[in-house]
Amino acid sequence: MSKLLDGKVAIVTGSGQGVGRGIALMLARHGARVVTNDLAPRRITNAVAAPFRASALGGTAPALTQEESERFEATAGDAESVAAQIIAEGGEAVHRYADVTNHEATGDLIQAAIEEFGRLDILVNNAAGMGFGPFLSLTPEDWHFQVEAKLTGTYNCMSHALPLMIKQGSGRILNASSDAWTGIPMVSAYAAANAAVVALTKSTAKEVARHHVTINAYCPQAASPGHVSFNATFRTMLQKQGIQLRVDEERTRRSEKAHGPAENMTFLAYLASDEAAHISGSVFSVTGGGDIALYADPQHSTSIVKDGEPWTIEELRKSLHHELLIDYRPVSERSEF
């Protein structure tokens, strides 16, 4: 019986653990031959190994509870172990360690698909460096850690993959963003990188549409070491500040459902298939709990127009509140903190 992605070759960056690991396994189970990737072999087994910087805690890793440690380990690994699991399940895979922030290294990574499998049909730019903490606690090192893998890594891989896809007349690129791109507080560097990925996705999708190459962004929520570290950091930060976190059972239930196994995000396999040739330049939220949502394209909500002379202050005072800002809510009323 044929599978959705039979004959397709995929590269998944950052696929040694967490969401990337789940995506690589899922694509393979739908028939794709997969090149797995992450930075280096995994040598340690605690939260320090996660691609995560807790600037709110001075860059130190938060302490994990026993349950958190077990959740962390359940989705941890490296590119070699994930490739081995794919092969054990009857699929085809090879692994390559490479730093996606290095342009030359990403060229070698893209070439690995050609050398091993003869083509490249699917590129999933999943590698990321996560972080958490107030903007004023960010160091230059924090900024680069959170921006480089996500944004520069996506550019690097796309710059090598797109010429190949254009030449063969087809291709699917899936860029990992995050719901943080909308401006979630306490993750400003991470949010900035993800917003840039959305803009990069939308602009390049328009450029390559005529070559039958699609480019979409996905904002995943699924079980991962990074998610465990994020929750532990948030809890530890509040404890340091003497803040008692109120447990919202319904919100906790929704979060646990959303952070199900990344292997369940089969929508990404559909986006990577021939059937999704008409879907490009879009941003989706996808969870391990089965929820899929499409973001609306950004557009002006209101406007005011002046012909001739520049606006006077008196005219602005009248028009701003009665026309341009008629439904405006201050950020203090929209903030989650």
| Residues facing 9 on adjacent strands | 33
DSSP reduced 3-state for 73: helix
Residue 120 carries which DSSP code? Answer: -
Q: Which of 103, 132, 90, 97 is nearest to 14 (CA)?
A: 97
245 φ/ψ angles, rounded to the nearest 5 degrees: -75, 120
* Catalytic, out of 97, 155, 190, 328: 190
Q: Within 10 Å of residue 274's Cβ, how many Cβ atoms?
A: 13
> With contact defined as beta carbons under 8 Å apart, do 217 and 204 qualify?
no
Q: Which pair of structure tokens corresponds to residue 212?
A: 């039958």
Judge whether 190 counts as a catalytic residue. yes
Q: How far is CA 309 from the centre of its chain?
A: 46
Q: Compute the chain's Rg from CA coordinates.
A: 21
Alpha helices in the chain (DSSP H): 18-29, 66-74, 79-88, 103-117, 140-147, 153-168, 188-208, 225-240, 249-258, 267-271, 313-319, 331-334
Catalytic residues, by residue number, are: 190
